[in-house]
Amino acid sequence: MKTSAFLYPWDVNGDPDAAARLADLGVQQVTLASAYHSTRALTPRHPHHRVVTAAHAAVLYPPGERWHGQRLRPYPAGDWAPGDAYGAAAAALADAGLDVHSWVVLAHNSRLGADHPDTSVVNAYGDRYPWAPCIAQPATRAYLTALAAEAAARPGTHGTELESCGWYGLAHLHAHDKIAGVGLGDGAEYLMSLCFCGSCARGYEDAGLPAARLAAAVREALDPVWRGTAPGDATPDRLLGAELAAATLEFRTRTARTLQEEAVAAVRAAAPDGFQVLLHADPVPYHCGANAGVDPHHILGVADGVVVPCAGGTGLLAPFAAAATGAAAVTGSAVATGSAGGAGSAAGAVLAANLPVVTGMGGAPGTLARDAERAARAGATELRLYHAGLASDADLAEVRRALP
Q: What is d(CA 133, CA 339) in angstroms, rounded to the nearest whole number? A: 25
CA 83, CA 207: separation in Å to the nearest integer?
46
Q: What is the pLDDT of residue 327?
A: 60
Question: Could you write out the three-class secondary structure of 274-308?
Answer: CCEEEEEEECCCCCCCCCEECCHHHHCCCCCEEEE
320 to each of 170, 276, 326, how far by Cα in Å?
A: 25, 18, 10
pTM to 2 decimal places: 0.94
Question: Pairing state of beta strands 51-54 and 39-42?
Answer: antiparallel
Distance from C-alpha of 290 to C-alpha of 103, rounded to nearest angstrom: 12
- How many helices (H) and strands (E) in the chain? 14, 14
pLDDT of residue 340: 35
Contact 30, 98 (CB under 8 A): yes
Question: 3-state class of 381 per DSSP?
Answer: coil
CATH topology of domain 2-122+133-179+256-402: TIM Barrel (3.20.20)
The single-letter DSSP state of residue 19 is H
First to last CA, the chain: 9
User: pLDDT tens, position by position, for the chain (404 residues)?
Assistant: 999 999 999 999 999 999 999 999 999 999 999 999 999 999 999 999 999 999 999 999 999 999 999 999 999 999 999 999 999 999 999 999 999 999 999 999 999 999 999 999 999 999 999 999 999 999 999 999 999 999 999 999 999 999 999 999 998 877 778 888 888 999 999 999 999 999 999 999 998 999 999 999 999 999 999 999 988 889 999 999 999 999 999 999 999 999 999 999 999 999 999 999 999 999 999 999 999 999 999 999 999 999 999 999 999 999 999 999 886 544 433 333 333 333 445 678 999 999 999 999 999 999 999 999 999 999 999 999 999 999 999 999 999 999 98
Question: Which DSSP symbol is given to 76?
Answer: B
Does residue 264 contact residue 303 with C-beta atoms inside 8 Å?
yes
The residue ranges of every structural domain in the chain are 2-122+133-179+256-402
